Amino acid sequence: MIKLKTMEWSERVWEALKRAVTSMPIFIRKRALEKIIKESEENAKKRNSSIVEEVDLVKAAKEKVPRIVRPMCLDALREQGTDVDKYG
């Protein structure tokens, strides 16, 4: 099994990501998950945070999720209570 996370994640944010990714077509899930995790963790590091939080995930989803499924992913995050419109 590949270890995807290299940092601590807010539990709520991690759960939101898992649910958002499961809404994607199966053939892109793994690659999308890898990209989102990597970018989310980079975003957290840029904020000098040791924990990945909502802002990191939303920015990563907006930048790294393939365009064709981005609306589906963002809607899934919204359903989990993530304010995706709050972060540019």
The pLDDT value recorded for residue 37 is 95
| pTM of the predicted protein model | 0.90
Write out the DSSP string of 16-85.
HHHHHHHTS-HHHHHHHHHHHHHHHHHHHHHTT-SEE-HHHHHHHHHHHS-TTTHHHHHHHHHHTT--GG
Which residue, among 58, 84, 70, has the nearest Cα to 23 in the 3D structure? Answer: 70
The pLDDT value recorded for residue 36 is 93
The pLDDT value recorded for residue 3 is 65
Domain residue ranges in the chain:
8-83
- pLDDT higher than 70, residue 2: no
Answer yes or no: are the C-beta atoms of 84 and 58 closer than 8 Å.
Answer: yes
Q: What is the pLDDT of residues 14-61, one digit of tens each?
A: 999 998 988 888 998 888 899 999 999 999 999 999 999 999 999 999
